[in-house]
Structure 1
Amino acid sequence: MPTVTGLGGFHEVGRQAIFIDSGTESLLIDYGISIQNMAVPLPIPKMPGAVVLSHAHLDHSGHLPSLYLKGYPGAVYATDTTFALSDLLLRDSHKVQMLNGLRPHYDLIDVDTFGKAGRRVAFGDPFGLKGATVTLSDSGHVPGGGSVLAEIGGKRILYSGDIKFGRTELLDGAFTDFEGIDLLITEATYSYKNHPDRSMMRERLRSHVQEVIGNGGIVLIPSFAVGRAQEMICMLYDLGIPMYIDGMGAKATRIILDHKHSIRRPEKLEQAFAAAIKIKKHAERRQVTKKPCIIVTSAGMLQGGPAKLYMREIYNKPECSVVLNGFQMAGTPGKILLDTGRYVDDDIDVQAKLKVEFMDFSFHCGRDNLLKFIRKVNPGMVVPVHSEHVQEFSAELKGMGFASAPIRNGETIAV
């Protein structure tokens, strides 16, 4: 009988890590860091027989290279797009930790090993391990990102990964046709709320941008480099307004365009990226803020990247606007700005004069779609993860007739 141990991301968002052990085979799924404070998962119970990465975001991938520093002899299994994007994010994370005076948990040579030893797998193609069979399926979250089905110890364990249903600018939405699932480990990031209609949000964004630009302002759109930056430029490039892309978003876009099979309309992203003006030098940033324009840049929670520099230029200009457009973690400058109107970062703590907008373009599923997915899969048990609301959601699921276990980091359940 296999067991599942939570090593990170249970009752929290960040440092996702799941350890599955059947006695004859062990599997580690994801091994991330906390974006807010660089916290890492709990130690692995033993060296896994194999490692599977659901997608590239650092809260799922950020600690993986440390396995090679610890002597892990095997491969990480993921899609080719995930490997390419992870390489970008892991190298940047190492640089950021060094710049902040932190000691990285891995060396760059470990990132090299992660890529060279990696096994590229395609969605829907099962791959066999010593005592398990694993299949990745499109999770609709970011290019290359997948749900993980592990058939191990006579059980079928499905990890949703970060999952999004329905079409976005980049993706067609998650695969959901799973059968005979004994245990569903599902993200529950937004188990407590639904998201607004995406097409309505798109029109609201475009209207807001045109209004601000018409009044002589600048629209700053801090965006996650992988997934969100690409969606933002796809939504705005045809407005005929000067649009700049800065930070890792440009590099990530080039990688995604090198893996066109991972998105639904590569020609649209190609057009949008060609229309966007790429910022290549630090000196160019001050020039950009001297005239009305759109700036799409990292980081999505204003906690780093060029977004910090642009915010310092425009936070006291009422004609300008910042559009926050995704999850804002507690304690980040984006969350503080959204909740209080104050811009707090390093030596700055002021009441911002610029317009602050939140537009929900989440790449996570909302409550109703999450419940619909759970009902469709109809698993023997549900373990919610990737949320601070798992206790309440698990209780709700029990009230609906599902077996559910809101386990915490360090706890183990038998399947």
Structure 2
Amino acid sequence: MKLIFHGAVREVGRSCIELVTQQARFLLDAGIKLGPETEYPEEIKNIKGITAGILSHAHLDHSGAWPYLVSKGLNCPIYTTAATRDIAKVLMKDFYKVECLNHIPPYKPENTEKAAELFRSVRYRTPFEIKDAYFKFFDAGHIPGSAFILIESNGKKLVYTGDINLSDTRLIKGADLNLEPIDAIVMETTYGNKEHPGRQQTEKEFLSKIREVLKKGGKIFIAAFAVGRTQELMLLLNSEKWNVPIYVDGMGKDMTEIMIHHDAVKDKAKMTDAKNKIEIVRGSIQRENAMKKQGIFISSAGMMTGGPITEYLKHEHQDPKNAFLLTGYVDAGTNGRMLLDEGTVFIEGRKTKVQAEYEQYDFSAHAGESELKELVETLNPKKIILVHGEPDSMEKFADYLRKKGKEVFIPELGSEINI
């Protein structure tokens, strides 16, 4: 097996790795990198010759480039879980609409439709064969429907983690690591140099801040990813009693319906109960009416760039009684990062000082440093390839692994590594 890297090297975003066997060529994910200009995977030679695609999960940094690659000639089945298939279809379609607001995307809407038609659903722990390669999906514990993939070919065993999380959350169980030793792993290192606080402590501090703000008459605006984070926060908030309504705005509602339909959550009954007790914001008029009174608002986008959260920022950022709470990773160049670094955001193209409170809480769905070490110890690969992380995170984790006697690679764009 040979790996060729078209993205997510020394960066978080545009995950795309080409896997070449003696008889076939596969693409492991095809994502985008969001920013002032959307970045796509580097050019893939003879893309019409790709045998099949593999999609680890629905987040756009892993799924968003499939339509773009279809426009370049990709025409092969893309294998993923049923939940990821349905979530990714919605995200790809929505991303195209959002992209059109800023500039002309490098592909057409029919390419998005075609990409969705290429998806084929597979079950966890159910092996399937394509030419001279065998694939098996395992629950990655990252978001509902996420998977890491075991690939066997020519006597070698390779794991591609996609994004992975070993710890249980209210929403889903941690990764399923019950598999045999492997030869090599391509693993994310988003937090290769950082530990996450305990989830219970984070929840406690988060709920305490909400109560504090509500007590002084403020409103709570929670920036949350529509996939995974929104649902976890719905469960958390539904575990407490509140004297104000809880609203969900953005795509979170549709994502919740898909997850419940596919039994992709840990406790379907609790998720259904939480869904039934919140109020759904269905447009600008309802949003304006909801903002007239005190409440807790969960809204996408999680990085505060795009989505309904920008409307809440526009109307509510000047009130010091209010609070905007970030609940996950924020990229450089996003409103979320600017808010944390400078206390400013872009509102209708203007850099604006935020008078409301703002804080970030670590509800990460990625493995922290100790969990990444545990992953390596459990699977015990001989060869380790680090992707999906910032350079300092990768280098620190690579140093640790080399001291343990591991063969470690940090690829560059276009790098080729034999397994």
Pairwise same-fold verdict (TM > 0.5)? yes
Tell me which of 302, 305, 310 is aligned to 1:303.
305
Match of 2:12 in 1: 13
- Residues 1:380 and 1:45: Cα distance change in structure 2 (over 3 Å): farther
TM-score, normalised on structure 2?
0.95
Structure 2: which amino acid aligns with 1:35? L
* Cα pair 2:3 2:418 within 8 Å, conserved: yes
* Cα distance in 2 between the residues matched to 1:231 and 1:336: 25
Structure 2: which amino acid aligns with 1:397? L
Structure 1: which amino acid aligns with 2:366? H
C-alpha deviations, 1:239-277, integer Å up to 9, x for none?
A: 2231111011111111112212x1110111111111111
- Return the offset for 1:79: 0.5
* Cα distance in 2 between the residues matched to 1:239 and 1:7: 48
Match of 2:189 in 1: 188
Secondary structure in structure 2 of the residue aligned to 1:73: coil
* Cα pair 2:22 2:132 within 8 Å, conserved: no
Match of 2:376 in 1: 374
- Return the offset for 1:179: 2.3
- Return the offset for 1:349: 2.1
* Cα pair 1:315 1:343 within 8 Å, conserved: no
Match of 1:266 in 2: 268
Question: Do structure 1's residue 363 and structure 2's residue 362 form an aligned pair?
Answer: no
Match of 2:394 in 1: 390
* Cα pair 1:63 1:105 within 8 Å, conserved: no
Show the 5 A alignment for 1:77-92: 77-92=79-94
- Return the offset for 1:124: 0.2
Match of 1:254 in 2: 257
- Return the offset for 1:192: 0.6
* Cα distance in 2 between the residues matched to 1:147 and 1:125: 13
- Return the offset for 1:213: 1.1
Show the 5 A alignment for 1:3-402: 3-36=2-35, 37-46=37-46, 47-102=49-104, 104-237=105-238, 238-240=240-242, 241-260=244-263, 262-388=264-390, 389-402=393-406
- Percent identity over paired residues: 33
The worse-fitting range, judged by mean Cα deviation, of 112-121 and 37-46 is 112-121
Structure 1: which amino acid aligns with 2:248? I
Secondary structure in structure 1 of the residue aligned to 2:407: coil
* Cα pair 2:21 2:133 within 8 Å, conserved: no
* Cα distance in 2 between the residues matched to 1:153 and 1:282: 56
- Return the offset for 1:154: 2.5
C-alpha deviations, 1:39-81, integer Å up to 9, x for none?
A: 0001123331111000000000001123333333320000110
The worse-fitting range, judged by mean Cα deviation, of 387-396 and 241-250 is 387-396
- Return the offset for 1:111: 2.9
* Cα distance in 2 between the residues matched to 1:288 and 1:73: 45
* Cα pair 2:304 2:335 within 8 Å, conserved: yes
Structure 1: which amino acid aligns with 2:24? E
* Cα distance in 2 between the residues matched to 1:215 and 1:117: 52
C-alpha deviations, 1:91-111, integer Å up to 9, x for none?
A: 001101111122x23333333
Structure 1: which amino acid aligns with 2:352? V
Secondary structure in structure 2 of the residue aligned to 1:7: strand
Structure 1: which amino acid aligns with 2:29? D
- Return the offset for 1:346: 4.2
Structure 2: which amino acid aligns with 1:90? M
C-alpha deviations, 1:196-239, integer Å up to 9, x for none?
A: 11011112212211121111111100111100011111111242
* Cα distance in 1 between the residues matched to 2:414 and 2:345: 36
* Cα pair 1:138 1:146 within 8 Å, conserved: yes
* Cα distance in 2 between the residues matched to 1:395 and 1:6: 21
Structure 2: which amino acid aligns with 1:15? R
- Return the offset for 1:340: 1.8
Secondary structure in structure 2 of the residue aligned to 1:280: coil
Unaligned 5+ runs, structure 1: none
C-alpha deviations, 1:7-62, integer Å up to 9, x for none?
A: 10011000000111123111110000002231000112333111100000000000
Question: Do structure 1's residue 406 and structure 2's residue 407 form an aligned pair?
Answer: no
Structure 1: which amino acid aligns with 2:394? V
Structure 1: which amino acid aligns with 2:28? I
C-alpha deviations, 1:146-178, integer Å up to 9, x for none?
A: 001111233111011100111111111101123
* Cα distance in 1 between the residues matched to 2:107 and 2:137: 27
* Cα pair 2:75 2:118 within 8 Å, conserved: no
* Cα pair 2:314 2:347 within 8 Å, conserved: no
C-alpha deviations, 1:352-394, integer Å up to 9, x for none?
A: 2111111100000100111011111110111111101323322
TM-score, normalised on structure 1?
0.96
* Cα pair 1:6 1:19 within 8 Å, conserved: yes
* Cα distance in 2 between the residues matched to 1:117 and 1:369: 34
Structure 2: which amino acid aligns with 1:249? G
* Number of aligned residue pairs: 412
RMSD over aligned Cα, in angstroms?
Answer: 1.4
* Cα pair 1:164 1:363 within 8 Å, conserved: yes
* Cα distance in 2 between the residues matched to 1:69 and 1:339: 38
